[in-house]
Amino acid sequence: MNNDYTGFEVWQECRKRANHSYGSTKSFPKEEQFGLTNQIRRAAVSVSLNIVEGCGWQTTKCTIGFLNISRGSFHELETQRFITIDRKYSSKEQFDVIFNNFQSGKRLLNGFINSYRKLS
């Protein structure tokens, strides 16, 4: 499979979600700067970074491992976003938009993982 990750739709979409996570956490309370804000941003970036790192490996098995880590970061993000609702840092409407974006991102990532599995 081609290792030029910049052409992969999944990477492009996950990168957009990471940038959105930065914007959507700007309004969080100052005391969350090194807490939930930082965790959300790191997990969002981790999704894209693990796609990139996986594409850099020479074996399908290693690539799939990093793609699974990327999927795990999506699950972290979902839980963190539930906490933003609990803490009233986000509205239910904001949460629904973000959650739906995560679901579509996970579908893209799952399809990408499945395409790699077919190579092995």
Low-confidence residues of the chain, pLDDT below 70? 1-3, 120
Tokens found for residue 2? 């081609």
3-state secondary structure of 56: coil
What is the number of structural domains in the chain?
1
Give residue 42's domain range.
5-117
Q: What pLDDT is stored for residue 4 in this prediction? A: 81
Tokens 């690539």 -> residue: 63
Q: What pLDDT is stored for residue 1 in this prediction? A: 57
Residue 113's alpha-carbon distances to 39, 44, 76, 81, 90, in angstroms, are 25, 18, 18, 24, 31
DSSP 40-63: HHHHHHHHHHHHHHHHTSSSHHHH
Read off the pTM. 0.89
Give, rounded to a whole angstrom, the gap between the first and last alpha carbons of the chain.
11
Domain with residue 85: its CATH number is: 1.20.1440.60
